[in-house]
Amino acid sequence: MIRFAHFFAVFLWFVTSAASALETPPKAGDVFSECDECPEMVVIPPGSFTQGYDGGLDQRYEGPRRDVTIARSFAIGRFEVTQAQYRAFIEKSGYEPSVGCYMWNGMSADFIDAHGWEDPDYGRPPADDEPVACLNWTHANAYVSWLAEHTGQPYRLISESEWEYVARAGRPSDYTYAWGEDESEVCVHGNVLDESTARDQPELPMPAAPCDDGFPGIAPVGQFKPNAFGVYDITGNVWEWLQDCYVMPYAEDVPSDGSAYINEACERRAVRGGSWISTLFWQRPTFRGRDPEDLTSRIFGVRVARDLP
């Protein structure tokens, strides 16, 4: 009886401690995870920055530039959602994502019914610590909705403003890249189309970054240097689906407080961050991907956000 009472007391202490982990005000840089299968989250401080770029590709204008102030801390995944974390969601929720995936090879994209998140056509099974891929926006949103229900906490997709703010991580908003101007530094920060990818796929028509990141294909999460906010792989590996409806140029009523822009039409959703087979120009923090919600691609994944008290 005494042993049981002692065990129960220890168990109760553990549950209470876990439940109250975020009852005290979180500090910037704090890291937490709310279940075994949950992503690790890092607390992002409030702040202001200038979003966007007065330029871009044809039909992909990245402006106009605008000032954004995020007045409250929030949390973001330290890493992109992994294969193991997404599998846990599938097993626990019973969710059945649509089948098939576009196999982007740097030149064209073919839709293959046999491929999906369990087999993104790497020529081998994906590793548990690699980012889950072959997700469309609906798959990504289903994951964060389950995570919110599973934990009882306000998990969600990231907004465009939050994503760019995190990618900048306090650096000047006029830098071309998140880290500065030196293109060769990209291989310190993320997995992109680099010299190793070019050697592996010499037929690629796009220019490779002038460095070697050691990964011709997908990389496990957390292999590169984190940014000043403690976030890994914000550049490259897989594109990250965001909450916003895509409009170009930014609409006059786009929120300036960091929240997502949603309209009734919402024909496309925003994606950011580039991938392991994306050329360097697409890795800039202002570059705006825009894709239909049902586009399932081998280079599209997700990173999560969470509101804080």
What would the mean pLDDT of 280-297 be, rounded to a whole number? 97
Q: Percent of the chain beyond pLDDT 90?
A: 89
**Can you give the pLDDT at residue 190?**
97
The number of CA neighbours under 13 Å toward the Cβ of 306 is: 28
Give 9's pLDDT tier (boundaries 50, 70, 90). very low
Of 67-76, 103-112, 150-159, least confident by mean pLDDT is 103-112
**Can you give the pLDDT at residue 22?**
64
Residue from 74, 40, 42, 88 nearest 221 by CA: 40
Give 23's pLDDT tier (boundaries 50, 70, 90). low
What would the mean pLDDT of 67-82 be, rounded to a whole number? 98
**Can you give the pLDDT at residue 83?**
98
Give 25's pLDDT tier (boundaries 50, 70, 90). confident
Give the pLDDT confidence of 118-150 residue by residue, as tens digits.
999 999 999 999 999 999 999 999 999 999 999
**Cα angle at 301 between 295 and 302, to 5 degrees?**
115
**Buried b / exposed e along 223-235 (16+ C-beta atoms within 10 A):** ebebbebbbbbbb
Tokens of 151: 């934990």
**Can you give the pLDDT at residue 7?**
38
Q: Are strands 41-44 and 31-32 parallel, antiparallel or unpaired?
A: antiparallel
pLDDT at 171 > cutoff 90: yes
Q: How far is Cα 18 from Cα 7, in angstroms, rounded to an integer?
A: 17
pLDDT at 1 > cutoff 50: no
The DSSP element (H or E) to which 13 belongs, if any, is helix 2-19
What 8-state DSSP symbol labels residue 80?
A: P
Q: How far is Cα 180 from Cα 170, in angstroms, rounded to an integer?
A: 12
What would the mean pLDDT of 239-246 be, rounded to a whole number? 98
What is the average pLDDT score of the chain?
Answer: 92
Q: How far is Cα 38 from Cα 57, in angstroms, rounded to an integer?
A: 37
**Can you give the pLDDT at residue 105?**
83
pLDDT at 14 > cutoff 50: no
**Can you give the pLDDT at residue 106?**
80
pLDDT at 20 > cutoff 90: no
Q: How far is Cα 17 from Cα 20, in angstroms, rounded to an integer?
A: 5
Angle between helices 137-151 and 83-93 (to 10 degrees): 70
Q: Is 205 exposed, middle or buried (0-12, 13-18, 19+ CB in 10 A)?
A: exposed
What 8-state DSSP symbol labels residue 286?
A: T
What would the mean pLDDT of 150-167 be, rounded to a whole number? 98
What would the mean pLDDT of 27-32 be, rounded to a whole number? 96
